[in-house]
Amino acid sequence: MISAILLFLVFCFWYVLCGLGVFTALFLTLIMPALFWLLATFGLGTYLITRKNV
């Protein structure tokens, strides 16, 4: 279920980027994973800290 939602989001993401241009797509393809992992790590850390306190 989650993978289907992610696939849909990626499809929409690329559909929009194709309208903006290939250069923008390549640029964001490099930037977005970095932001994603940063947010994922931050979110996981916050979750673990709040769970430990509770």
Report whether 34 contacts 23 (CB < 8 A): no
Whether residue 54 is predicted with pLDDT greater than 70 in this model: the reply is no
pTM: 0.39
User: How much is the average pLDDT of 31-54?
Assistant: 86
* pLDDT recorded at residue 42: 92
Taking the CA atoms of residue 33, residue 35, residue 37 and residue 43 in that order, the dihedral angle to the nearest 10 degrees is -150
- pLDDT tens figures, 3-38: 888 888 888 787 776 677 777 777 778 888 888 889
* pLDDT recorded at residue 32: 80
Whether residue 41 is predicted with pLDDT greater than 70 in this model: the reply is yes
